[in-house]
Amino acid sequence: MPATDTLNLAMMLAESGIIDNAVNELMTRPQLLMAAESNPDIKTAMKNQIIKWRGHIHKRMPSVSVEEQFKREIGLYQEACQWEPEYFIEQVDSVVKQLEGHSSFYFKARSLLERENQKHNPMFQSYFCNLWYEYLSKALIDAQQTELEQHKEKLLADLYQRIETMQHMQEVTEAGDEKKAGRLWDMAKARLTKTDVGSLKTMAAFLKKNSGLQEIAEKLGRMASEVDDPDKERVRSEDLKMIEERSDNVTDDIVGVHESDDLSKLLPNEAMFLAYPELEVVFYKHLVDKRLMNYRVQGAQRKLRRVKAYKRQTKQVEQDKGPFIVCIDASGSMNGFPEQCAKALAYGLMQIALAEDRDCYVIMFSTQQITYELTKQDGLREVLNFLSYSFHGGTDLGPVLDQSIELMSNEKYKNADLIVLSDFIAPSQPDEMMKRIQKLKQQRNRFHAVNLSKYGNPELMTIFDHCWSYHPSKLGRLFKWK
């Protein structure tokens, strides 16, 4: 076996089709098939996860060959293949001794050396190395197979965990939310305890009971689609229009005389050349040279021409919807019903974000800021951490507006919705802050406020495009300010 062939040992697993077999085996697991068939989005998300795992394994598996035990044996094998036959006979006993304890070929090699008459055969080195190569490649594939099984078990554990989490979420999520399922699968890596499921159920029930909060969430979800973007609404179109052009071929008016070869517009005196045989040749020469005197005519010619122009569409253009940034006042004055309202509205906005393929960030603020990204890969854990957060401290609106404005200055946050949920018992903001907010509004970002107290500072409301007041009373009345 040529030494150069050992360089391909690391690729044996991919060539053997073991990875593809593992993927096929995964895809036919009954539990995974049932989960995939329950929803097309789940099926797509699961398939993408397995394909991504397959690509990772293709890159990861060859690294098994660089483990010390294989690296040492492969190096020794390559040396032995390149030795001269006489030198190989002298060193083969030492080579076999070095294989003791870490090579599956050791015992077979010893049995070959026990036959003294075979060692001096001219073909012994080739036979020995070929056999060694078979043992070495099998050992490498076995090691790779073992590691592949370990990776597969980890993937299966993750897939089963996501299926279990999705089953729990079916108890929480309203029916008819299939379009959220794909992103929920991505978020379902977190293991949910009975307490976690209970917290989500409680929040979902609270949101359903307080329908006014759900109305606010749904209205906020629609606003990104209602934005009027003149740049996107102007589209290039081609129309056929009737236009008039001045033409010498239209005999509306005689405007003069010129030299030409048009016999239909010939002046009468030019025809006199044809009356005399000796001058006839002059007539034909003038005709060829386009020097016959003709009437010059001119008129307006009407014809259709394709004209390109920009015009506004008659229907609303679909806009790329930016993320939700939900700033929640976590001060002590928000304890109780206002806290439940704030958390429930954020939970409702997260569900809308999942359905509309948007991101949803929550920034809790009091004397400091804590950010939760509810729609990322482990978003369910973020949701649970957010729901378990206890409100305390004082209200400091300025820093959270600074942080939000900084975020919304990024291209990623174009056409985004910033929602502040607070009792707004806080001082007014400086003019500089108002200018920065106004600049973002011009970029089609929207600022909303939900006031959860009767005693909020009215001047603060001037910052926002839309303001709602949801008072924490038994009546749960909803008022739209503007």
Tell me the pLDDT of the chain (482 aa) as tens digits.
444 444 455 455 445 567 778 888 887 788 888 877 777 777 777 888 888 888 877 776 655 544 556 778 888 888 888 898 888 888 888 888 888 888 888 888 888 888 777 777 888 888 889 998 888 888 887 877 787 888 888 888 888 888 877 777 776 665 445 556 666 776 777 677 778 778 888 888 888 888 888 888 888 888 766 655 544 444 555 565 656 666 666 667 788 888 888 888 888 888 888 888 878 888 888 888 888 899 888 877 766 666 565 555 544 445 678 889 999 998 888 888 888 888 888 888 888 888 888 888 899 988 788 888 888 777 778 888 888 888 877 778 888 888 888 888 888 888 889 999 988 888 888 888 888 888 888 888 889 999 888 888 888 888 888 888 887 554 444 444 44
Q: Give, to the nearest 10 degrees, the angle between helix 85-99 and helix 124-172.
A: 40
**100 Cβ contact partners less than 8 Å away, ≥ 6 residues apart:** 106
CA angle, 236 then 239 then 240, to 5°: 160
Cβ contact 134:2 at 8 Å: no
Is residue 349 within 8 Å of residue 409, measured between CB atoms?
no
> What would be the CATH architecture of the domain defined by 209-227+319-480?
3-Layer(aba) Sandwich (3.40)
Residue 466 Ramachandran class (φ > 0 left, ψ -120 to 50 alpha, else beta): beta
d(CA 369, CA 259): 89
Residue 250 DSSP code:
S
Question: Could you tell me which residues are beta bridge partners of residue 362?
Answer: 326, 372
pLDDT of residue 74: 82
Distance between CA 9 and CA 18 in Å, rounded?
14
Q: Which residues of 244-276 are buried (b: 16+ CB within 10 A; e: fewer)?
A: eeeeeeeeeeeeeeeebeeeebbeeebeebeee
In the prediction, which pLDDT does 226 show?
A: 65
Report the DSSP beta bridge partners of residue 230.
none
Q: Which helix (H) or strand (E) holds 298?
A: strand 292-312
Q: Which residues pair with 247 in a beta bridge?
A: 299
DSSP helix/strand/coil, 419: strand
Task: End-to-end CA distance of the chain: give it in Å, rounded.
Answer: 83
Determine the longest span between alpha carbons in the chain, in angstroms: 130
Residue 430 CB neighbour total at 10 angstroms: 10
Could you say which DSSP state residue 227 is in?
-
Q: What is the pLDDT of residue 327?
A: 92
Q: Domain ranges in the chain?
A: 3-170, 209-227+319-480, 232-312
Check residue 300 and give left, alpha or beta (phi > 0: left; psi -120 to 50: alpha). Answer: beta
> How far apart are alpha carbons 299 and 305 in whole angstroms?
18
Q: How far apart are CA 152 and CA 165, in angstroms?
A: 20
Torsion sign over Cα 166, 169, 170, 176: negative
Token pair of 20, please? 């593809």
Q: Is 176 left (phi over 0), alpha (psi -120 to 50) or beta?
A: left
Q: What whole-number distance in Å separates Cα of residue 203 and Cα of residue 219? A: 20
Read off the tokens for 144.
Answer: 């790779």
Q: Determine contact, residues 41/182, Cβ cutoff 8 Å.
A: yes
Residue type, 280: E
**Structure confidence at residue 419 (pLDDT):** 92
Q: For residue 139, what are the contacts with CB-CB under 8 A and spacing of at least 6?
A: 70, 103, 104, 105
CA separation for the pair 328, 363 (Å, rounded): 6
pLDDT at residue 16, rounded to an integer: 56
